[in-house]
Chains A and B, each alone.
Chain A
């Protein structure tokens, strides 16, 4: 079975500063990887996904993530955050197999300060 670990439960960051959210996964087979964002009192929105190909994936709102197979990581980055990026961010993984489910990490709360 696969698992996902988000190493930071909270990340405070000043506006216009860069941010990196760490995600590591565990799986014995190939996986698909995702980052979702949840704004306060809202549902989850897909930020970006890695299915195959280039290991650097660009998503919405200026976010990008890099898949590192040797380190089993999929860290999310943004070079300059805005107040509106304050939200909960979830890393998720699914196996490249039929009938599988999306497994989420515990989430990282990003608080952008002015």
Chain B
């Protein structure tokens, strides 16, 4: 059983399109995250949800909108895709209930988004 699963694994799309990435965790964790890894491998947090409530919203364009229908799912919708959105997007979850990352995160295997 995959603990944190993301779909799709690869996504190639044209500029201007709207796309979604889905994430599900079966660990019973309360907090979920989206991270972006750029071409230089730099990882930066985008969003964090605790029990369906947004708790971290970094400086991310409004074209990115997370949605958490329940605490086991955190989806990422991206409108009007741009070339600079090409990256690997990682979903993660953690057990903590207050957003403290003191027990570490469990990461998904990533979604490689390529905008052409």
Contacts and interface: CB of A to CB of B under 8 A. Distances in A.
Given A43-B107, A99-B55, A99-B56, A106 B41 contact: yes
Interface string A71-114: 00000000000000000101000101111111110110100000
A104 B106 CA distance: 15
A5 B55 CA distance: 26
A63 interface: no
Interface residues of A, number: 26
Contacts, number: 68
B101 interface: yes
A45 interface: yes
Given A44-B107, A101-B56, A106 B40 contact: yes
A89 to B, nearest CB: 10
